[in-house]
Structure 1
Amino acid sequence: QKKYRTWLIDYVDAWVGRMKRNGDIIPSNIGLDGTIGGETDGKWYGGTYGWGFTVIVPQTGGLAHRNRQYWGFVGMMNAYFLTGDDKYLDAWRKQTARVNAQKKVIDGRDMYPRMYGDDGWYNWVPQPYSFNQLEIYYLSMKPGDRRYLENDAWLKFLDGDNNSYAEQALRRDLAEVRRRAAAMDGDTTTPDTRLADDPAKYNPAQVTALRQLMVAGLDPGRRASVWHTRLRYFDPARRRAGIPDDCAAMIDRMTDSTTRVRLVNTNQLESREVIVQAGSYAEHTIHSVQLGDTTTRFKGPTVRVKLAPGAGGTLTLTVDRHSRQPTMHFPWDRN
């Protein structure tokens, strides 16, 4: 609904403005009067889980640096999702540059800060500040945003430089399923001796390979992010989301304006139909589909593909990303 879209954009715009007024760094405290640091004696870095939130761990007595301001980028992603406006990504680019500009040499090594307190920057580590860099690049697809991602195996695969990645990723996920299931069987704790979230480490569900290879999607996490994917599949025969039974899909190339997907019907007796949608919520527009030497041109968020028994093919879609208003309606429920 328009009112919710307007509210979200206005809310995120307010935070973009605060970042600009605070030297391109997102403040971790805003007073009830709207001032930066208004509830922490004017300290922009104050507040729980803010830039200066270092606490003593009761169990160990050691210090824990718990700056969680990078979680706020989800809001920027949501605004970009609705508008395609690069200013929401650029705000975070500028913050990354400002933090890394504080670099200094300690014991002969370049070190970068993660925290800010009364005495300035602290908690120096050898890795540059690069939180949310994959998400920024995924949304922008600008070469400059690949900085800090030079060794990302999935992105190399999508570039055509790591052809063994698909098999390796699937095998890795399956091995992790087996490892966690075995660990669950070997757990000796009892309900009265463990915390409620202790068993979470045994959760055997592993979807990284499926998420990356089938839909070329980001990890949505658990902090209010929508699911950003390049493609999504629907089963028109059963009128449900998801790829039809017996079908498989793999995205093996992706650029700013193209997506290459392999579709296969493993059923040797029956044909299958699949609707391929550009974007999780039809936010992208497909302009052409190439199959072999044949290119079909049209304009819309979906393409319907019929797969003969045991057949498959490779489709290259030309897409205009973030060119449509997202919708949660399924393809057959749209006007």
Structure 2
Amino acid sequence: MTPRITAAVPLRELPRWALLERELLSRLDRAWREFERRFCEPDGRLRYHGRMYGRDGVDDFYEPFFNWPTLYRIGGSPDLLTAAKRHWEGVTRQLSEYGYLRDEYEIGYDWFHQGESLPFLLGICAADPADTAFRARARRFAELYLPGSDNYDPATHTIVAPHTGAGGPRWGVGEDWAEYRADQPGMQIYGLPLFDVPGVDSWDDLRDPDAARAMGQAMQQRMGRGDTAVNLAATTLAVNAWLYDHDEGLADWVLEYVDAWRERAAANGGLLPDNVGPSGQVGELHGGAWYGGHYGWTWPHGLHSILPAATVAALNAVVLTGRVDRLDLVDGTLDAVLAHGEVADGIAARGSLGPGWAERLGADETTRELLVPYRHGPQGWFDRHPVPLTPVLWRAWARGDIATDTLIERLRAASDTDWEAVRWFHDKEEQGHEAPWIGYLAGRNPDYPERGLELALTQTLRRMALITEAPDEPQDGDIHFWQRLNPVVTEVLSHLVTGAPPAIYYGGLPLARVVIGDVRLGRPGLPADVAALVTTVEEHRVVVELVNTGDAEQLAVVQAGAFGEDEIVAVGHDVAAPGYPGDAWRYDVPPVTTVPHRTTVGGARLEILLPARTRITLDLDINRRAYRAAHQHFAHGTTQEEHP
């Protein structure tokens, strides 16, 4: 029997954050409907009559909807989940007709892009694990990478190619790179993929057709075989399926594969290498070098693609085991690049990702930050940028020490930028505002909830204005059109309502310190008119305030952990002291005073009855990862299991 507490503190005034939160949820529900009306066909597919080019494109059709299930789990309208499923299935049929999928899954592409396709599916599975069709899909997709599949070699503990999927290994790096020419748009900034191809010593050498063919051939043969570090994100498929039925074969494969990469990192001084050859040896296809693999340290993005994959895999291991020891996969890689860090200015001009970093930070040419090398080649480390805060934050979040994490404090101390500022930008990953949220949790930035929600409202309004001006479908080949217009913004809501960052964009599971559900509707997400604010996130403590802004009673459930993995040992909460509503013969409204109360819980869930216009502050004592994580059924409750 889930314990129930009744909120007993009447509202004298509605908190501004609560009003903004409810306004944002209302606007987002109107926004996704307008996006759907303008750009989607009745069966859910995107309106597009153009062609597809090369192997690329599957992720771009799923990405416009990637955070719609997230909005549903936070408090979007009940029919949003139905819409999300319709769009996933419609897009899947659309891509199958283009020949890009087999049995509803990517035929074969790299895991940097497959990771971008995955959040949409993961969000649906987490939102409604009772859906048997998506449960079957989760299992079928996971089996593509298990021992016995064509994609995995259990003898070497490797995924056998950078491009894999429902069609097995898809050798090479794609028809687009049969030649690697100097005139390919946008590629010069990333430089040479390989530095030891005879006759190719500089970018200008690629203007020679023979040199361009030689580079393309070398890429296909050397970068298109063997394992690569970004394949670590494939572990999410198995963990997502494991969350349904705890098949230990799925867990064993994930831990086997992650530990194989940990061993390779340990042999490389803690730094994750980026390539493993067909026989299982690091550097086998690259002259013994630990760098040079596809989407690896040398080309094109380095740390930007490797560190998210490592973080996804490490967090997946935490979900499976309840232990944080495999975060060393992230620690060692961060330590390696930090050892070469330096505080410097000129952020925008310093490398391949510089302009984007300058925009995100609001930096000019004099702004100084701790810059680390993102890439490595025969010439050593190069391409310096600020330390990406998202993996650093997840590392601290998993360990429970966000407000006191020493690396976060080191980065803040080295920065010229105002970490408490809420910067007016929005990227497709729904990331980038970690610093002001960290400041809020540390007690330095009390206005973040209001300013963050104002930002989110403005982001939504701007996207709606762009939708109004946009054509009904993109020009041929412009398959990034829809993700630029997705009006659903959930980053700030994730911070404030779940006590967690948004899921890592490149294949991360949707994690949370708390999930709030609607008991009467039997679903995750805030009940009507209810707003939530997580104010404290510590290893053994979470504080959340609930406010019923409406005139009808609501019944909410508070769950500890995204997958019911945490135990609420006890809860401290405020109750109204005697004195309200006061003497009927007096005309003044008496002040509302509260007294503390404590209730023993001993489970993952707690129900809160919220009469009209009341509030309650819950101070949760948490025994973290006390239960085995599982997809949660809000309609019928769930029984948690202790970790073995």
TM-score, normalising length: structure 1: 0.88
Residue 67 (structure 1) shift: 5.7
Residue 65 (structure 1) shift: 6.8
1:114 equivalent in alignment to 2:374: yes
| SS of structure 2 residue aligned to 1:94 | helix
1:84-126 deviations in Å (ceiling 9; x for gaps): 323222332222112121246889987532111112212234x
1:135 is matched with which residue? 394
1:244 equivalent in alignment to 2:519: no
Distance 1:186-1:112 versus aligned 2 partners, 3 A rule: same
Distance 1:145-1:330 versus aligned 2 partners, 3 A rule: farther
How far apart, in 2, do the equivalents of 1:107 and 1:153 lie?
A: 22
Superposed counterparts of 1:68-217, under 5 Å: 68-72=305-309, 73-103=311-341, 112-125=372-385, 127-128=386-387, 132-142=391-401, 143-148=405-410, 150=412, 151=419, 152-187=435-470, 191-192=474-475, 195-217=478-500
1:318 equivalent in alignment to 2:634: no
| SS of structure 2 residue aligned to 1:98 | helix
Q: Write the letter of the residue equivalent to 1:138.
A: W
| SS of structure 2 residue aligned to 1:183 | helix
1:19-74 deviations in Å (ceiling 9; x for gaps): 101111111111122111223332210111110114xxxxxxxxx77862113221
1:218 is matched with which residue? 501
Distance 1:128-1:163 versus aligned 2 partners, 3 A rule: closer
Distance 1:83-1:148 versus aligned 2 partners, 3 A rule: farther
Residue 215 (structure 1) shift: 1.1
CA contact (8 A) 1:28 1:44 kept: yes
1:205-234 deviations in Å (ceiling 9; x for gaps): 111221111111221144221111110012
1:212-262 deviations in Å (ceiling 9; x for gaps): 111112211442211111100122212222222222211122222111111
1:22 is matched with which residue? 268
1:7 is matched with which residue? 253
CA contact (8 A) 1:53 1:67 kept: no
Distance 1:111-1:318 versus aligned 2 partners, 3 A rule: closer
1:32 is matched with which residue? 278
Relative contact order, higher structure (CA 8 A, sep 6+): 2
| SS of structure 2 residue aligned to 1:20 | helix
Q: What is the RMSD of the two structures over their aligned residues, measured on CA atoms? A: 2.5
After superposing the two structures, state which structure 1 stretch, 29-38 or 163-172, moved more.
29-38
1:271 equivalent in alignment to 2:553: yes
Distance 1:163-1:94 versus aligned 2 partners, 3 A rule: same
| SS of structure 2 residue aligned to 1:76 | helix
| SS of structure 2 residue aligned to 1:202 | coil
2:562 is matched with which residue? 280
How far apart, in 2, do the equivalents of 1:67 and 1:50 lie?
A: 9
1:57 is matched with which residue? none
| SS of structure 2 residue aligned to 1:69 | helix
Instruction: Report the structure, 1 or 2, having the larger strand content.
Output: 1
| SS of structure 2 residue aligned to 1:252 | strand
1:241-289 deviations in Å (ceiling 9; x for gaps): 2222222211122222111111122332x32211100011011111111
Q: Write the letter of the residue equivalent to 2:378.
A: D
Residue 135 (structure 1) shift: 0.9
| SS of structure 1 residue aligned to 2:532 | strand
Distance 1:294-1:105 versus aligned 2 partners, 3 A rule: closer
How far apart, in 1, do the equivalents of 2:521 and 2:387 lie?
A: 48
Residue 51 of structure 1 is aligned with which of 297, 300, 317? 297
How far apart, in 1, do the equivalents of 2:335 and 2:272 lie?
A: 13
CA contact (8 A) 2:296 2:302 kept: no
CA contact (8 A) 1:99 1:129 kept: no
Unaligned 5+ runs, structure 1: 55-63
Number of equivalenced pairs: 324
Distance 1:312-1:207 versus aligned 2 partners, 3 A rule: same
Q: Write the letter of the residue equivalent to 2:488.
A: A
| SS of structure 1 residue aligned to 2:508 | coil
Residue 168 (structure 1) shift: 0.5
Q: Write the letter of the residue equivalent to 2:507.
A: A
CA contact (8 A) 1:49 1:67 kept: no
How far apart, in 2, do the equivalents of 1:218 and 1:105 lie?
A: 27
Residue 313 (structure 1) shift: 0.9
TM-score, normalising length: structure 2: 0.47
Distance 1:157-1:129 versus aligned 2 partners, 3 A rule: closer
Q: Write the letter of the residue equivalent to 1:68.
A: S
How far apart, in 2, do the equivalents of 1:312 and 1:330 lie?
A: 26
After superposing the two structures, state which structure 1 stretch, 259-268 or 170-179, moved more.
259-268
CA contact (8 A) 1:99 1:113 kept: yes
Distance 1:81-1:147 versus aligned 2 partners, 3 A rule: farther
CA contact (8 A) 2:534 2:543 kept: yes
Q: Write the letter of the residue equivalent to 1:98.
A: A
How far apart, in 1, do the equivalents of 2:558 and 2:344 lie?
A: 52
CA contact (8 A) 1:286 1:318 kept: yes
Distance 1:49-1:16 versus aligned 2 partners, 3 A rule: same
How far apart, in 1, do the equivalents of 2:313 and 2:390 lie?
A: 14
Percent sequence identity over aligned pairs = 26
Instruction: Report the structure, 1 or 2, having the larger helix content.
Output: 2
Q: Write the letter of the residue equivalent to 1:70.
A: L
| SS of structure 1 residue aligned to 2:275 | coil
How far apart, in 2, do the equivalents of 1:162 and 1:111 lie?
A: 25
How far apart, in 2, do the equivalents of 1:135 and 1:66 lie?
A: 16
Q: Write the letter of the residue equivalent to 2:478.
A: L
Q: Write the letter of the residue equivalent to 2:630.
A: T
Rg bigger for which structure? 2
CA contact (8 A) 1:134 1:149 kept: no
| SS of structure 2 residue aligned to 1:201 | coil
CA contact (8 A) 1:133 1:148 kept: no
CA contact (8 A) 1:259 1:316 kept: yes
| SS of structure 2 residue aligned to 1:68 | helix
| SS of structure 2 residue aligned to 1:8 | helix
Residue 298 (structure 1) shift: 2.8
| SS of structure 1 residue aligned to 2:483 | helix
